[in-house]
Structure 1
Amino acid sequence: MTAASHANDTSDCTDLAREQIQMLTNRNTRSPAYLNEKGNIKTNFERALGTGLPKDLPLLLFVVAENKQTPEWLELHHRQAASVTNGTVVPCPASTTSTTRTRGRSLTGSGTGGGTADASLEHARD
């Protein structure tokens, strides 16, 4: 599922959060950097093979717990987290995008459900 299709899955969000998610999705998926990365993903992926993250980089990964298309997905992320000093994997029952949007407030401690867009992205309208 793409970021654009996730933007439509906002049943647990306020109207303001829904509007901000759509704005950010549009801005991010149409940016020159995103389009360049999308066009070069195969080459960039091949170049990144065999590289790693800096040991002192704190790493927090929200990962789909059961990926039917790539069963080793969770284990790959556990190995990635183990490669740094402070790495944590949070297995999620849904995609990373929908989990952070629908459970964002409960994950950050700023309320329950509905995502974090209301407070943290208020300035996005400017």
Structure 2
Amino acid sequence: MPGTTLFPPRSAELTAADLTLADVESLTAYLQVRLDGVRDRHSLSSDEWRTALALGLAVSGQARRVRDTFADDSAELLRARRRQWNQLVILAAPWDSAAGYDTARWCDVQHVDVAEAAKSAAIRRSLL
């Protein structure tokens, strides 16, 4: 498919600590609108309807797992947030070049916080 990537875009700047529940809700809503549109255009017995339903259930379940990581900002939950967020973003990757997709926020996150990002950058520089 032209304009579609297999992997979501990465952000060198955005960290797990920067993510908000609003990011989770907005990405989930963006996907649900598209999946609802597919279901609206197809009959209940069609493969398209069932595929959209299955993906919608996967998105909802993954969004719940991301939300669960917002109980606090402990190192453990920030690592879990990064992992769970990146899984949600993978489900959205086919839309990453579509109208309305927020590439600045809905991207694969590499680091849990700014300190980890700085440490990683220092290591990369030392290897040059």
The question of a shared fold, defined as TM-score above 0.5 by the shorter chain, is answered with no
Q: TM-score, normalised by structure 2?
A: 0.28
Relative to the length of structure 1, the TM-score reads 0.29
Higher relative contact order (CA 8 A, sep 6+): 2
